[in-house]
Amino acid sequence: MINSILFLGAGLACGVSAACSRSWLQDVTADYLKAQAAGQPAGLPLASGVSYAENDTPVDISKGVLAQPIKIDFSRSIYDTVQCATFTELTAATNAHPYVIHTRIFANGDGKISSIESFVSDDGDWAFNATGHLYWTTQESWTPIPEGERTSRAAIQAAADAYLDQWGNVSLPVPLGTPCQRLEGGTYTGERNRNTNTCAMGAFPEPLTVNKRRYIIDEESGAIDVFNNFPWLEITKLEGTPSSNFIRVEKGLIRYIHEVTICATVHCGRDAPPPDA
């Protein structure tokens, strides 16, 4: 079993000690979505020296995608009150330039945003299809889980780690539910068997070690997002490429998986996956 490592984001050290409510994080998320729609990051409550990165590369916040007005068709967010952090997946299928964007936001103890990290996927990234992503994500239910039925924070992370660890050892157990659907780019796995699919994956051509794992966890939504380094796929960067796995856990079992993987070359230099992989 691979030992999972929690990498500290630029705002995490401050965020751990920050006292922030779920409602405050919801307000921060609403501000983020409003800023992205307008292309005006200056409208956010940014801390002095805020760090901003896209696809694991530091970017001037005034010149990144956050400074571009984007028509957002759908978004889904989770809130981590332990780390004072949020995660948002937004789908912009009808924007002039389609995107699917995964964004982590950390706040400090003063109620200011200290770090924003986005994985920005668009045409040419692995299995990218914003229209397909929009269709399938809106078919899913990620409603809050009743308090007595929630999976613990530790168990949610363990489920996500088990899923990623199995990429290096197919014999490791993964708590996959039935049904379970995986939305990879715009490709919906098990599309033809939605009631019986388990999200089970076969072996990769070689065992993969998925590192640089960074977590946002929300027990109320039974959800976790893991920013990570996906090895092997990108032929020009065999050491790894930015990838995000957004996972919903219900009663200890994985129900949904959304994956966004960034490519340096078209389709990472490989054939795109089939429509119903």
Q: Domains, the chain, ranges and CATH? A: 12-122 (3.10.450.50), 147-269 (3.10.450.50)
Nearest to 106 by CA among 220, 219, 225, 262: 225
Give the torsion through C-alpha atoms of 137, 219, 33, 185, to 10 deg.
Answer: -30
Backbone angles phi, psi at 191, to 5 degrees: -55, -35
**Whether the Cβ atoms of residue 11 and residue 51 lie closer than 8 Å to each other:** yes
Q: What is the pTM assigned to this prediction? A: 0.91
Pairing of strands 176-184, 253-261: parallel
Dig out the tokens for 47 from the structure: 């801390």
In the chain, where do the E strands start and end? 46-54, 57-58, 74-80, 85-92, 99-107, 113-121, 176-184, 187-188, 211-218, 223-230, 241-250, 253-261
Dihedral of alpha carbons 158, 162, 164, 168, sign:
positive
> pLDDT 10s per residue in the chain (277 long)?
334 334 334 333 333 434 589 999 999 999 999 999 999 999 999 999 999 999 999 999 999 999 999 999 999 999 999 999 999 999 999 999 999 999 999 999 888 999 999 999 999 999 999 999 999 999 999 999 999 999 999 999 999 999 999 999 999 999 999 999 999 999 998 666 778 888 988 888 889 999 999 999 999 999 999 999 999 999 998 789 999 999 999 999 999 999 999 999 999 998 766 544 4
Question: Rounded distance, CA 66 to CA 42, Å?
Answer: 10
> Sheet harboring 241-250: ordered strands across?
187-188, 176-184, 253-261, 241-250, 223-230, 211-218
